Structure 1
Amino acid sequence: MAPSSTDTSVPFIFPNINHLISVKLDGSNYLGWVSQFLPVLRSNDLLSIVDGSKACPSKFLVDSNGQPTLTLDPKFVLWTKKDQYILSWLNATLSEIILPAVFGLNTSKEIWDLLANRFAAQNRSRITHLKRQLQNLQQGNKSCADYIQAAKSCANQLAAVGKPIDDDVFISYIIEGLNTEYTSFITSFSFATQDHSMSFNRNYLAMNSIRKSS
């Protein structure tokens, strides 16, 4: 019989965090640090532990009467192991300047929340900057592909910190920043009734650019 996902005897292997996170949090690079850390948590199904959506299970099993026993719940054991792995990851990616701030914290969520609160102002400032940069982005002398990539970079950075841009809003920003040579496309887009996915419009603009330069 296949082992249960909560069987604590089943080995689980987590990657070496230093191979995945290229920066150590030093107080000036929180956004870059968290944008690298979040995909690691998501890809290992661990984000729910640090964001609190998956609470720690009860420590002991209960009997048929609902009373706690002295037997550890395997779910608690597994959750705790994962939590401590994350905690060790966090500690390993903190600089010597930041590390003392988390001494005495026992769970990954405690550390995650402390860092988020400590750097909240920096995070808000960066988010505001990225949104303004995206809103004011102009194609200028950039190729269509480079212009769209610049917009995508801003959008991806916002998504990495939990502030994704709606597809329709993203497309509208791109349209507004296009050079005047795309007037006919902008007009046709404005009067179009069908849905326009982000990928469709990117491909359409790219093809338009290639055709104009040929």
Structure 2
Amino acid sequence: MAPRDDSLQSISIQLDGKNYAYWSYVMKNFLRGKTMWGIVTGDKKKPADEKAANYETLLDSWETDNSKIITWINNSVIQSIGTQLAKYDTIKEVWDHLARLYTQSHFAKQYQLEFDIRALQQNNLSLALTEPDVLKAFRPYIDRREEQRLVQFLMALRSDFEGLRGSILHRT
């Protein structure tokens, strides 16, 4: 009996750029359950000894697993994120790219909070506070206000710009 092809299997959560921590947790456990997490971490390396007796078999198995995981990842991310992944050949490169892009920096956390606050607006009533005159000349406040405006700009970007948004959010 031929082994069952499970390459079309996927997880039920989709990475949208705002839920990386939960998505990566679910995906990591899914891959551990498939005994493939070592390929992602690089612990199970691509066979390199071409003189080994079973080199072709080992290479074929590693490439099959690598491709399955890349497919699972692509099936669990929104399209604008998936198109960024096409430049990578190994799942380790894909995973490292996503971790770099979506591991939350201070600014990314601020973005998420502002996004959540914006979602709390009711009947077109903004939750924004009016700005007292004394604060308009206070440099730390001005810097914070400008950062907040950048966050609001990033929130307004369409999903086509997810790569740009992620890049800006995770700069130090």
TM-score by length of 1: 0.44
Identical aligned residues as a percent: 26
- 1:5-84 map, 5 Å: 11=3, 13-14=5-6, 16-18=8-10, 21-58=11-48, 60-62=50-52, 73-84=56-67
Q: Is the 8 A contact 1:59 1:76 kept in 2?
A: no
Change (3 A) 1:59 1:102: farther
The separation in 2 between residues aligned to 1:85 and 1:97, in whole angstroms, is 20
1:111 aligns with 2:94: yes
Q: Is the 8 A contact 1:61 1:73 kept in 2?
A: no
The separation in 1 between residues aligned to 2:105 and 2:31, in whole angstroms, is 22
Following TM superposition, by how much is the alpha carbon of 1:104 offset from its aligned partner in structure 2, in angstroms?
1.6
Matched letter for residue 101 of structure 2? R
The separation in 2 between residues aligned to 1:122 and 1:94, in whole angstroms, is 21
Secondary structure class of the residue paired with 1:35: helix
Q: Structure 1 stretches of 5 or more lacking a match?
A: 1-9, 64-70, 126-214
TM-score by length of 2: 0.54
Secondary structure class of the residue paired with 1:60: coil
Q: Is the 8 A contact 1:24 1:93 kept in 2?
A: yes
Render the CA deviation track for 1:22-64: whole Å, top value 9, x for unaligned: 221111010111111111111110000001111111263347x
The separation in 1 between residues aligned to 2:57 and 2:49, in whole angstroms, is 9
Render the CA deviation track for 1:118-152: whole Å, top value 9, x for unaligned: 11225996xxxxxxxxxxxxxxxxxxxxxxxxxxx
Render the CA deviation track for 1:83-105: whole Å, top value 9, x for unaligned: 11001111111102211221221
The separation in 1 between residues aligned to 2:49 and 2:64, in whole angstroms, is 13
The separation in 2 between residues aligned to 1:52 and 1:121, in whole angstroms, is 23
Runs of 4+ in 1 over 6 A off after TM superposition: none
Number of matched pairs: 107
Following TM superposition, by how much is the alpha carbon of 1:16 offset from its aligned partner in structure 2, in angstroms?
3.9
Secondary structure class of the residue paired with 1:57: coil
Q: Is the 8 A contact 1:49 1:109 kept in 2?
A: yes
